[in-house]
Amino acid sequence: MKNFFITGLLLFISLASGQELRSPNGEFVLSFDIRNGGVPTYNLTYKGKPVVKESKLGFELQKDQYSLIDGFRVSDIKTSSFDETWKPVWGEVKTIRNHYNELAVTLQQDKADRQMVVRFRLFDDGLGFRYEFPQQKNLVYFVIKEEKTQFAMAGDHTAYWIAGDYDTQEYDYTTSKLSEIRPFMAKAVTANVSQTSFSPTGVQTSLMLKSNEGVYINLHEAALIDYPVMHLNLDDKNMIFESWLTPDVHGDKGYMQAPRTTPWRTVIVSDDAREILASKMTYNLNDPSKIDDTSWIKPVKYVGVWWEMITGKSSWSYTNDYPAVQLGVTDFTKAKPNGTHGANTANVKRYIDFAAEHGFDGVLVEGWNVGWEDWFGHHKDYVFDFVTPYPDFDLAGIRDYAKSKGVKMIMHHETSSSVRNYERHMDEAYQFMKDNGYDAVKSGYVGDILPRGENHYSQWMINHYQYAVEKAAEYKIMVNAHEAVRPTGIARTYPNLIGNEAARGTEYQSFGGSKPNHVAVLPFTRLLGGPMDYTPGIFEMDLSKLSPSNNSHVNSTIANQLALYVTMYSPLQMAADLPENYMRFPDAFQFIKDVAVDWDDSKYIEAEPGQYITAARKAKGTGNWFVGSVGGEQARTSSIKFDFLDKGKTYIATIYADASNAHFKTNPQAYVIRKVLVTNKSKLSQFVAPGGGYAISITEAGKDAAKGLKKL
Amino acid sequence: MKNFFITGLLLFISLASGQELRSPNGEFVLSFDIRNGGVPTYNLTYKGKPVVKESKLGFELQKDQYSLIDGFRVSDIKTSSFDETWKPVWGEVKTIRNHYNELAVTLQQDKADRQMVVRFRLFDDGLGFRYEFPQQKNLVYFVIKEEKTQFAMAGDHTAYWIAGDYDTQEYDYTTSKLSEIRPFMAKAVTANVSQTSFSPTGVQTSLMLKSNEGVYINLHEAALIDYPVMHLNLDDKNMIFESWLTPDVHGDKGYMQAPRTTPWRTVIVSDDAREILASKMTYNLNDPSKIDDTSWIKPVKYVGVWWEMITGKSSWSYTNDYPAVQLGVTDFTKAKPNGTHGANTANVKRYIDFAAEHGFDGVLVEGWNVGWEDWFGHHKDYVFDFVTPYPDFDLAGIRDYAKSKGVKMIMHHETSSSVRNYERHMDEAYQFMKDNGYDAVKSGYVGDILPRGENHYSQWMINHYQYAVEKAAEYKIMVNAHEAVRPTGIARTYPNLIGNEAARGTEYQSFGGSKPNHVAVLPFTRLLGGPMDYTPGIFEMDLSKLSPSNNSHVNSTIANQLALYVTMYSPLQMAADLPENYMRFPDAFQFIKDVAVDWDDSKYIEAEPGQYITAARKAKGTGNWFVGSVGGEQARTSSIKFDFLDKGKTYIATIYADASNAHFKTNPQAYVIRKVLVTNKSKLSQFVAPGGGYAISITEAGKDAAKGLKKL
């Protein structure tokens, strides 16, 4: 009888567990409920059809702590709405609307007297939800063994996926049914200098999916702060993804202290692929900028002493005298130069001249600082000091020369993943940058992480990347971190994070090549969390012409390369090829010179993951538009309207397109350029070669300039 | 035939492998030889008798690298002599002689075409040797699986040992035969907040031994830089110790890059125990000071807000409001004070007043900075910021008050072993110290190490402790690191390392007590590598009088506590008890006020490990001497001569001794003080109680002061 009364009492004070939340436009319905044994679940429908079927929520805990999996009841429910419009410091659009309905469910776990909140935000483009652990007596410090968040798929969708990995995202995408992930996994895991697979059905976010019914679904996370990266592991019998966090050296997956929250888990959904590309949900789930004065944060178009090393034409290192070097011990002034060092003063000045002549903002130089002789693969702790140039890099002379030419030098900090060493030198390195006129840094994390046992995406490292960005902000330094964690919209909060690599970039075109449709996937996945320093603009696809021993081929046409400046949105865009290669194709190069890097508006005109993307963007503070279109492995015809242009105005459109016989493999440099007049009534039907694309620059037609031009 | 010729050739160019080296005084003979299969070996004799029997040298390597164990031949031999006298910045003596004969054997491993040098230095007090890896083609980066250095003992010696451990040295010593280490191990491993045992016969250095023939042997290391701590693992069938390095998280025991050297392995030997205590070999094997201007490094006698927290009388924390706190989030100004916070302004000023009145140089305050509420045991990353005081600690007011009283404040940096966090804040924390008049810091490493998987004595942490000391030197800050690695003479090179804990300190008298003979072992072991911040001077042994819930008893008499200021040499000496306890015994306290902390000369008068130590020291720049004598568990009579005093002079000796009925357990506060006249002909026969001791201050007798005093 006693038990009966207690149960009755609990039932009495329990709130009805089933809850529903609708998106502002009513197209999404999120349902939350407590199932057998007190297990919290949710499901999501879109236009009346299931997108995420009933899926469990919770955590398995380490260290003998009772898990946060079952025994829950709903003790409080709060709903609210939010609608704001904010201005990004840089971006695809001038303003972003952040509009959602919210449901916060407080879950009471009576057995342990603990509370956990699940907060759902339903936008017109999808769902974000996170866990929150309020301050309380019985849940203070805890260690996550595994987050058990499920995403139960409604079918055997097509997935555009890369293999789950604790150390690299630099894989080509595989397109397959969910049921094919397992058989395709072995082939999907290609070689990388640091990589750690974990499951035959483990994949990375952001994961793009398409249902048989033509619904596009993207699974990712937002606001990843001091928490391990979430991978997704597929139960491929039931098509249920479950979160799989990146462990630390002990297999622990998150050291937590309440009060705190997890990152947001996101489900972006649309039956129009273009809406996925246009989604700003990931940014909206991040906090507003914590940098008050953002006037020093500026988009950058740049060239650099980089591709020549990547292709093997020159070297990062200065000397071949020693089997290994030691900073502070090795006397580089007495070493014999190897004659291949790219970052020598004369060569750097050549790039500065080139940048100045063609209107680039900056010049990146890699290999300028001592330590490159044995920088990689040795777990070397004191590998770089970030402030000591090689003898042939005249730091002061280059600094003054660049300044005289109106060009900004871009710093390079390769850490070799010796992370303690980087943190030890970070203040001095940032101050050194400011003292020498560098406002932006490209950082790198090549190789296995030091401290040993940590991975690129474990909580320890997520904490580090954030530390580097926040400290850079103190120095008014912009960061472009390579091999770091893929972004999750944090650039809203720290807009000095102007770029990341965190995916397979153009460098892989020199390491064996990437799939020709790679760039038609990235905007659906990697770019949703933030911009990528993809380093496009390669004009010479036969890399043996740069370096005889390099047999790699760039799987792209020149027109495709031009289109990337528009389709791969980034406030940081490199013209990656060598000056001499641009000078061979000055008419095509003109587009790179003209294209903007910051925008007032963006329109996605055509989109299908892995097949094509066509985007039009309006250059910041102007009436000019730029269009980019990339295809996939097959040729196609792109059909677009120019209805995004102002009514009644006539524009000059310069179209940089694949020649009819162009092909990424056999004829990548065949392009045609034509100038035509367009209005907002114009339409274009444009051939796109295999691995090809096209780019258009559109300027308002001055009377003189328009003379003699035909209408499209 | 071909093989024959090659072998013949190798034999022809090989040098004779057997080599001998004698110490300057001829008492030691070091022999080196190559044994079967090309295994390098050494042995050491003292006065014609074996101390280290034939013992192997070498390394097992990780990562499939061919080990450095056999296949060696001698390819070069160099011998030399060295004799210098150097002046320590602080110390037991004014000048130190560094006098040795050296043998450097270059070993060629033909199979792998690699070289390794073993460098032996033979002093009049023992042997130091190290491995050196010159720059070469086939041995650049390598990972040590285990160092295989042997120390083959000549008998089943008596050992004064603590259990080998990767995380703590804070054990009571066990005295046993070598053959008894195994059965005594379980009892030797007492509880510690961070501890990692590894072997039933593993012990720590510095290890003190005594042979049946009365030869005293000490095994330790010197100049431990960027290399794991060496433990010793005993083959207790053959009485052979072998090095056992502290591993990293992967079990690796040293990431190496040639050119480099290992620390020195040391064997200090004498048939007079006093010579072990007087040995300066460990310092001599370290490099001279790398700090040019050492004028800012000054010995310190201090009091502190510390023992009251250790005993439970007050707390480090400020509030009990929260289950956990978060820096930058928790608003301490709104928290309710718990009323027990020791580091409050009024209490600190009380200590400053006390220090000023009684002539102490400094006041240490622990618990002054926010974060102590949950500082320990949670693997908390951002646990302290080292610059934010609690609301009741008026930093500026205290700073100005201390300055007005001529007292130096001593900073406290508890890291909670969150080492990344400490390094991130180190520059700011050190600068904050300088800005606020702090010249010295006590740092702490309580709890398990972050990054997880590293241990207190792994290479990663050795690197860190060194980093902290070197960076402190840049700021002209003196360091006293607790729970850090036991010193290995590095203070010669960085004399700003004025103290370490690195052994079981006085705090354990509040955690259950230490053995009464503990202080008669430490100078034979822990102190050989550098001074210890032992924090003596406890006058109230019944700790329940300070904190009712504390049942611990200080196993020492007051006279023993006074003696420690002389027997436990340190340039940093605390008077650890509460001011009010000193005021109860002002006549005994007078010795603590009078005793010097820096010396021109030191004489060890009596010594037997674990039983007694009597030392006399001449205060720096004066004619005054101080004598300290500590006993062990049994009462004894100490017999000393004052022949260290200047001839023909009469001195006043104030003798602070145990009363005849004194006993560390039952009657620790019974002491007698007498004043007598002494000359260099005087002799003293002095009762020492169980756990007791005596202290003497000796000043030249002015005529008036000597009036009425009797001769000893």
Question: Is a pLDDT exceeding 60 seen at residue B462?
Answer: yes
List the single residue in B with minimal CA-CA distance to A377. Answer: B141
Q: Cβ contact (<8 Å) for A257 and B378? A: yes
Question: Is a pLDDT exceeding 70 seen at residue A10?
Answer: no
Compute the mean pLDDT over every residue in chain A, rounded to the nearest whole number.
Answer: 96
Nearest CA to A40 out of A123, A154, A150 is that of A150
The encoded tokens of residue A258 equal 């309440």
Chain B CB contacts of A322 below 8 Å: 135
Nearest CA distance, A147 vs chain B (angstrom): 20
A158-199 pLDDT, tens digit per residue, is 999 999 999 999 999 999 999 999 999 999 999 999 999 999
Q: Which B positions 439-468 lie with beta carbon below 8 A of chain A?
A: 451-454, 460, 463, 467
A273 sits in the region (left: phi over 0; alpha: psi -120 to 50; else beta) called alpha
Q: Is B456 helix (H, G, I), strand (E, B) or coil?
A: coil
C-alpha span between A220 and A601 (Å, rounded):
24
C-alpha span between B607 and B274 (Å, rounded):
5
- Residues β-bridged to residue B86: B96
Counting residues of chain A whose pLDDT is more than 70, the rounded percentage is 98
Longest dimension (CA), chain A: 96
The encoded tokens of residue A174 equal 């595989």
Chain A CB contacts of B136 below 8 Å: 323
Mean pLDDT, rounded, for A517-534? 98
Chain A CB contacts of B322 below 8 Å: 135
The encoded tokens of residue B351 equal 């200590």
Is A186 touching B (CB cutoff 8 A)? no
Nearest CA to B389 out of B436, B357, B450, B423 is that of B436
B164: Cβ contacts below 8 Å, ≥ 6 apart: B197, B198, B199, B202, B203, B204, B231, B232, B233, B244
Question: Is a pLDDT exceeding 50 seen at residue B9?
Answer: no
Counting residues of chain B whose pLDDT is more than 70, the rounded percentage is 98
Is A326 touching B (CB cutoff 8 A)? yes
The confidence score (pLDDT) of residue B12 equals 40
Nearest CA to B535 out of B486, B572, B566, B498 is that of B572
Q: Which string of DSSP letters, residue by residue, matches B346-405?
A: HHHHHHHHHHHHHT-SEEEESS-BS-GGG-SSS--SS---SS-B-TT--HHHHHHHHHHT
Is A255 touching B (CB cutoff 8 A)? yes
B104-144 pLDDT, tens digit per residue, is 999 999 999 999 999 999 999 999 999 999 999 999 999 99
Give the sign of the dihedral formed by CA B484, CA B486, CA B488, CA B492: positive
Mean pLDDT, rounded, for A130-153? 97
The confidence score (pLDDT) of residue A166 equals 98
The confidence score (pLDDT) of residue A16 equals 67
Is B428 touching A (CB cutoff 8 A)? no
The confidence score (pLDDT) of residue A88 equals 98
Instruction: With a threshold of 0.90, tell me whether the complex ipTM lies above it.
Output: yes
C-alpha span between A279 and A308 (Å, rounded):
36
C-alpha span between A421 and B255 (Å, rounded):
15
Nearest CA distance, A249 vs chain B (angstrom): 7
The confidence score (pLDDT) of residue A29 equals 98
Nearest CA to A355 out of A389, A406, A310 is that of A406
Whole-angstrom CA distances from A305 to A340, A432, A481, A576 are: 12, 20, 17, 9
Q: Cβ contact (<8 Å) for B249 and A453? A: yes
Mean pLDDT, rounded, for B354-365? 98
The confidence score (pLDDT) of residue B11 equals 40
Nearest CA distance, B335 vs chain A (angstrom): 15
Is B136 touching A (CB cutoff 8 A)? yes
Q: Which B positions 381-400 lie with beta carbon below 8 A of chain A?
A: 381
Instruction: Using CB atoms, pick whichever of B137, B141, B381 lies closest to residue A378.
Output: B141
The confidence score (pLDDT) of residue A400 equals 98
Return the axis-axis angle of helices A345-358 and A395-404, rounded to nearest 10°: 10
The encoded tokens of residue B700 equal 């030249």
C-alpha span between B712 and B699 (Å, rounded):
14
Chain B CB contacts of A425 below 8 Å: none
Question: Is a pLDDT exceeding 80 seen at residue A286?
Answer: yes
The confidence score (pLDDT) of residue B15 equals 63
Chain B CB contacts of A329 below 8 Å: 259
Mutation pick from B452, B462, B466 vs chain A, by most beta carbons of A within 10 Å, is: B452
The encoded tokens of residue B528 equal 């050989």
* Residue A187 host element (H or E): helix A181-188
List the single residue in B with minimal CA-CA distance to A136. Answer: B323
A634-669 pLDDT, tens digit per residue, is 999 999 999 999 999 999 999 999 999 999 999 999
C-alpha span between B643 and B684 (Å, rounded):
11
C-alpha span between A611 and A690 (Å, rounded):
10
Nearest CA distance, B162 vs chain A (angstrom): 28
The encoded tokens of residue B363 equal 């006041």
The confidence score (pLDDT) of residue A705 equals 79
C-alpha span between B439 and B475 (Å, rounded):
9
Q: How many CB pairs under 8 A join A and B?
A: 86
Chain B CB contacts of A463 below 8 Å: 381
C-alpha span between A148 and A67 (Å, rounded):
10
List the single residue in A with minimal CA-CA distance to B427. Answer: A427
Q: Which residues of A are catalytic?
A: 507
B439-455 pLDDT, tens digit per residue, is 999 999 999 999 999 99
The encoded tokens of residue A676 equal 């035509």
Is A633 touching B (CB cutoff 8 A)? no
The confidence score (pLDDT) of residue B158 equals 98
Question: Is a pLDDT exceeding 60 seen at residue A2?
Answer: no
In the block, tokens 């674990």 appear at: B610
C-alpha span between B18 and B410 (Å, rounded):
54
C-alpha span between B553 and A260 (Å, rounded):
43
Mean pLDDT, rounded, for A463-467? 98
Question: Is a pLDDT exceeding 80 seen at residue A6?
Answer: no
Question: Is a pLDDT exceeding 70 seen at residue A462?
Answer: yes
Mutation pick from A378, A466, A467, A470 vs chain B, by most beta carbons of B within 10 Å, is: A378
Instruction: Using CB atoms, pick whichever of A249, A329, A424 lies closest to residue B249.
Output: A249
Q: Cβ contact (<8 Å) for A454 and B454? A: no
C-alpha span between A87 and A93 (Å, rounded):
8
C-alpha span between A349 and A214 (Å, rounded):
52
B285-302 pLDDT, tens digit per residue, is 999 999 999 999 999 999
* Residue A541 host element (H or E): none
C-alpha span between B419 and A32 (Å, rounded):
42
Question: Is a pLDDT exceeding 90 seen at residue B13?
Answer: no
Contact assessment for residue B669 and residue B541, using Cβ atoms and an 8 Å cutoff: yes
Is A250 touching B (CB cutoff 8 A)? yes
Residue A237 main-chain phi, psi, to 5 deg: -85, -45
Contact assessment for residue B215 and residue B241, using Cβ atoms and an 8 Å cutoff: no
Under DSSP, the state recorded for B450 is B
Contact assessment for residue B42 and residue B149, using Cβ atoms and an 8 Å cutoff: no
Burial class (CB in 10 A: 0-12, 13-18, 19+), B110: middle
Question: Is a pLDDT exceeding 90 seen at residue A357?
Answer: yes
C-alpha span between B226 and B248 (Å, rounded):
13
Question: Is a pLDDT exceeding 50 seen at residue A246?
Answer: yes
Chain A CB contacts of B378 below 8 Å: 141, 257
Nearest CA distance, B640 vs chain A (angstrom): 52
The confidence score (pLDDT) of residue B4 equals 39
Q: How confident is the model at residue A4 (pLDDT cuts 50, 70, 90)?
A: very low
The confidence score (pLDDT) of residue B678 equals 97
The confidence score (pLDDT) of residue B16 equals 67
A360: Cβ contacts below 8 Å, ≥ 6 apart: A301, A302, A303, A354, A407, A575
The confidence score (pLDDT) of residue A142 equals 96
Nearest CA to A22 out of A41, A46, A40, A42 is that of A46
Rounded to 5°, angle at Cα A570 from A524 and A412: 120
List the single residue in B with minimal CA-CA distance to A375. Answer: B141
Contact assessment for residue A241 and residue A116, using Cβ atoms and an 8 Å cutoff: no
The confidence score (pLDDT) of residue B705 equals 79
The encoded tokens of residue B122 equal 């033979």
A34-49 pLDDT, tens digit per residue, is 999 999 999 999 999 9
Q: Count of residues for chain A?
A: 712
Q: Which string of DSSP letters, residue by residue, matches B654-665?
A: EEEEE-TT-BTT
Chain A CB contacts of B137 below 8 Å: 323
The confidence score (pLDDT) of residue B663 equals 98
The confidence score (pLDDT) of residue B101 equals 98
Q: Count of residues for chain B?
A: 712
Question: Is a pLDDT exceeding 90 seen at residue A63?
Answer: no
Chain A CB contacts of B140 below 8 Å: 323-324, 374
C-alpha span between A667 and A658 (Å, rounded):
10
Whole-angstrom CA distances from B317 to A113, A138, A661, B305, B546 are: 26, 20, 76, 13, 18
Mutation pick from A113, A114, A133, A141 vs chain B, by most beta carbons of B within 10 Å, is: A141
Q: Cβ contact (<8 Å) for B249 and A252? A: no
Q: Which string of DSSP letters, residue by residue, matches B16-46?
A: P--EEEE-TTS-EEEEEEEETTTEEEEEEEE
Name which of A43-52, A457-466, B698-707 the model is least confident about. B698-707
Question: Is a pLDDT exceeding 50 seen at residue B90?
Answer: yes
b/e map of A492-515 (b: 16 or more CB within 10 Å)? Answer: bbbbbbbbbbbbbbbbbbbbebbb
Contact assessment for residue B327 and residue B346, using Cβ atoms and an 8 Å cutoff: no
Contact assessment for residue A441 and residue A473, using Cβ atoms and an 8 Å cutoff: no
Chain B CB contacts of A467 below 8 Å: 424
Is B251 touching A (CB cutoff 8 A)? no
Question: Is a pLDDT exceeding 60 seen at residue A607?
Answer: yes
A371-384 pLDDT, tens digit per residue, is 999 999 999 999 99
Longest dimension (CA), chain B: 96
**Residue of B501, B507, B540, B580 marked catalytic:** B507
Mean pLDDT, rounded, for A302-309? 98
Is B474 touching A (CB cutoff 8 A)? no
List the single residue in B with minimal CA-CA distance to A254. Answer: B379
C-alpha span between B479 and B500 (Å, rounded):
8
Q: Cβ contact (<8 Å) for B324 and A249? A: no
